[in-house]
Structure 1
């Protein structure tokens, strides 16, 4: 029996090492995203990882396909409510495509009847080593994750949000700086005021995702309907993330992606 235990233990250890090495190899690369035909005019379909390297990437592709099903169902319900005047448009960006992380930012604009259209942003970040959405509590310190919860997008898709006073403070420090000459929607002073009002009391539920081009962690949260034009994305620089205690697996990946051509 001892030889059998030793044999099975050695085999198990070998399988474990192979499992760990396989996904890590795939996660070390920058994945190429293949656009898919629109679900309907102006309603973009989720892209797919081209030539997936392993099971983790295939799981992500399957998850992205399921998101298409969510918006199809929601758009159909929207049309039933709003009739001929209804509309649903979607644009999709992948701000980080490896190494290690794939972030998907989904912008929806819908009108299902009523006085005004609604806009919404969803951000989902996948771990390329597992194919699952990331666990932010393993990547960021508790001071930046705060209360982790699930929120629903306009189409009912669940996404992870972080309600953290420290993350909010870092956001506010960089929101519409007065010396910036960037042209944005909404009056800057009015937007600063409504954002500060929203920030009073408990911190709002914030979406976060790595952004390779910007070199940091992008953060955004919802504002009241009348102030949706003020809902800017703010990027927390990678150097600040390190100072705040973010795990090297995240900051190193962002740095590598930012430096890539």
Structure 2
């Protein structure tokens, strides 16, 4: 889910000052990928080491990643830390020099020009042994297994807003809807959607220049709302706009359809088996004619072939997802009334029956 952010981080890191901490390319033979937790000076930190890929760490009091490039100096592992002071290249901000030690890694960290180095002590982290601060869910379990650093940041008490119809994740500020009285499975699915966005938001903010990291207008902004809620189905629309320091801001829309009992995602074609890609485009183009100009209509005819869908009281809502960024303004949402789609529907499904009451 985070590939686009991690790829961007690597590209941005390529501009850091080369070999600023000394040493040579490559890593010591003893260096292995892993997650560690300990102290830098007196401050608690957590570090994810990938000698042949992306390494990163964060101060637990701040919770934004700092990016590291692995090198070697003799048998020592050198990790070059870099940050963005502005929207230009990354600059060297610190040097780790680490060696294996009983119980983990031991060494120093030194800022450029600093008179002395700070002691670093790190022990392997087994995230599976950490207590859960959130309700257990598939996404939380996957995060604990696959991205322990993100798990450390997000595995804490979240804030239920008045009325219990939304929850805010405190570090990223990401807010996501909830349904009072919902099944445990549905609540888990909604938590997992929010986990994904919160992790992406923190990664996005970490790549911004330091002066912009606390600017609410920068970074990753999510607007999510329930568009349909009935006895068996819950649907939402998610709109994200983000700027993580790249060439330009961007945005996207995603529709979500969930089974209220199981919490599982419901593919649109489960509800409407005959509403395949070709028919979606035909019906979309018919409906969008009155909403866009001739130039956009031509673009949509030639480019818009993939859609995200969500449900509302009025029908199935389709939004193009494959338009080039430069013409993203043409991605209007079109509502296909349920009456129009009756022939496409699986009318024997208990889920569909909630859309076609007698």
TM-score by length of 2: 0.48
Quick check: which has more Rg, 1 or 2?
A: 2
- Correspondences of 1:36-185 after superposition (within 5 Å): 36-37=167-168, 39=170, 43-52=173-182, 57-83=183-209, 84-85=211-212, 86-141=218-273, 143-145=274-276, 164-177=277-290
Corresponding residue of 1:235: 335
Aligned length: 188
Alignment CA distance shift 1:221-1:246 (3 Å): farther
* Structure holding more strand per residue: 2
What's the CA shift string for 1:180-230, capped at 9, x where partnerless? Answer: 6xxxxxx7222112111204xxxx232122111xx2111112211011111
CA separation in 2, counterparts of 1:238 and 1:82?
Answer: 44
Contact 1:44/1:92 (8 A) holds in 2: no
State the 1:118 CA deviation.
Answer: 0.7
Pairing partner for 1:216 from 310, 315, 318? 315
Alignment CA distance shift 1:247-1:103 (3 Å): same
Q: 2:240 aligns to what SS in structure 1?
A: strand
Contact 1:34/1:49 (8 A) holds in 2: yes
Corresponding residue of 2:26: none
Alignment CA distance shift 1:173-1:87 (3 Å): same
Contact 2:236/2:256 (8 A) holds in 1: yes
Alignment CA distance shift 1:44-1:81 (3 Å): closer
Contact 1:37/1:44 (8 A) holds in 2: yes
Contact 2:204/2:244 (8 A) holds in 1: yes
State the 1:99 CA deviation.
Answer: 2.6
- 5+ long unaligned stretches in structure 2: 1-162, 213-217
RMSD, aligned α-carbons: 2.5
CA separation in 2, counterparts of 1:196 and 1:138?
Answer: 26
Select the structure with the greater relative contact order (CA < 8 A; seq sep ≥ 6). Answer: 1
Contact 2:165/2:179 (8 A) holds in 1: yes
After the TM superposition, which segments of 4 or more aligned residues of structure 1 sit over 6 Å from their partners?
none
- 5+ long unaligned stretches in structure 1: 1-31, 146-163, 181-186
CA separation in 2, counterparts of 1:112 and 1:90?
Answer: 14
Corresponding residue of 1:22: none
CA separation in 1, counterparts of 2:206 and 2:261?
Answer: 41
CA separation in 2, counterparts of 1:246 and 1:233?
Answer: 24
Contact 2:222/2:239 (8 A) holds in 1: yes
